[in-house]
Amino acid sequence: MPTLVNEKELIGALSRNESAIHLAVMVGRPLGGMLFGISVISPFIANLMFCFASLVVIKLARQGIEAPKSASRRRLLKETTSGFAELRRLSYLRTATVLTVITNIVCSAVLTIFLVYLSDNESPLVVGIVMAATGLGGVLGSAIAAPSQGLARRMVNSSKRINRVSMLLVHLWLWVVALACLLFTQNALSFLLALLLMGLAGGRSNITIREFAARYVHPQKLGRVTGVTRLCSFGAVAMGTLIGGLLVEHLGILTPLWMMTLPLLALALACTLLQPLRKLFFMDSAPDEVPGPISPEPSTSEVPSTRRRRLTQRLTGQYTMAND
């Protein structure tokens, strides 16, 4: 993304890209519930059709784009190790990854609890609509990225008594509030509100994390860093589903919710009040480790063709016929 748009347009491009991801979740989950209500096999047939359509779109998008020639064959283990080394070097990105792992485990566990609680009482369509709340929240979080960033800066600059705002800390506290919504009542509305807040926090903080990576990770290492962060975050999703299932089976519904809320509340309080922990949630927490934004020298492999640039602008909502 940083090689395809200029610095002023980066936050907007990231917001539109993030919105597209959550929009797919928002549409896909109710659609899956509706299709499941029609026939058990229907969602799987639709999934196969969407996968085929995606392959066709990718094939068309790659026409006219030459892949850069690699000097040597890359090894997965070496690339992954390099990604973890870069992640360890940047303390802010490391903090963000750990927070994402924790919240993804909680979110997957909550979704499991929700499915157990409502699957026997609600139609598949209602279940899909409630689960789509994370997508709606993600779209809203992506939409407010630039305005909220500007508002936070103006608030800090206008008053010396207002401390700087860390999006990662806001993310953590929103998750505490989301879980608190489920402690005293468990129904479709409370789960919808909790998942909406989780999606809002996740969508907004994802843009902050991606913006930091785009500005401070070298382009040649960005793919490796993204790979290891996705490995951690998606691994946490799988782990959370397993943990949620085990907790519900042995402890019921309410006890696991308290078991997740209290540690998360303690973590939020500690990271807010204790300065050594609080400073890890800000981008300048380790300025000696951050080399600053990198502007790589242009090369034929890094400068996109006109066709590729137009395609990217279309996908991020920047391209119009006036560009021609």
Helix axes of 42-61 and 10-38: crossing angle, nearest 10 degrees: 150
298 φψ region: left (φ > 0), alpha (ψ -120 to 50), beta (else): beta
Q: How many domains does the chain have?
A: 1
Mean pLDDT within 240-248? 90
322 located within any domain = no
Q: Cα–Cα distance between 273 and 102 in angstroms, integer?
A: 20
Q: Which domain holds residue 80?
A: 7-60+76-294
Res 287: pLDDT: 42
Query: Which range has the worst mean pLDDT, 25-34, 158-167, 220-229?
Result: 158-167
pLDDT category of residue 45 using cuts at 50, 70 and 90: very high
Q: Which of 30-39, 93-102, 109-118, 216-225 has the highest mean pLDDT?
A: 93-102
DSSP state of 323: G
| Higher-confidence position of 131 and 119 | 131
Answer whether residue 91 shows pLDDT above 80.
Answer: yes
Res 323: pLDDT: 44
| Higher-confidence position of 83 and 318 | 83
Question: Residue 311 has which token pair?
Answer: 């395609």
> In this structure, what is the dihedral angle of CA atoms 87, 284, 265, 15, given to the nearest 10 degrees?
-70
2 located within any domain = no
Cα end-to-end distance, the chain, whole Å = 21
308 located within any domain = no
84 located within any domain = yes
| Higher-confidence position of 69 and 162 | 69
27 located within any domain = yes
69 located within any domain = no
Res 221: pLDDT: 84
Mean pLDDT within 13-32? 84
* 236 burial via Cβ count (<10 Å: 0-12, 13-18, 19+): buried
Report percent pLDDT > 70 for the chain.
Answer: 77
What CATH number did the domain enclosing 40 receive? 1.20.1250
Q: Cα–Cα distance between 48 and 39 in angstroms, integer?
A: 15
Q: Which of 30-34, 200-204, 263-267, 314-318 has the highest mean pLDDT?
A: 263-267
Closest C-alpha to 196, from 119, 271, 110:
110
Res 320: pLDDT: 43
306 located within any domain = no
Query: Which range has the worst mean pLDDT, 9-23, 126-140, 292-306?
Result: 292-306
* 97 burial via Cβ count (<10 Å: 0-12, 13-18, 19+): buried
153 located within any domain = yes
Answer whether residue 139 shows pLDDT above 80.
Answer: yes
Report percent pLDDT > 90 for the chain.
Answer: 16
Answer whether residue 293 shows pLDDT above 80.
Answer: no
190 Cβ contact list (under 8 Å, min separation 6): 181, 182
For 169-213, write each residue's pLDDT tens digit: 888 999 999 999 999 888 888 899 999 999 998 888 888 888 888
pLDDT category of residue 314 using cuts at 50, 70 and 90: very low
- Contact between 313 and 319 under an 8 Å Cβ cutoff? The reply is yes
Res 302: pLDDT: 41
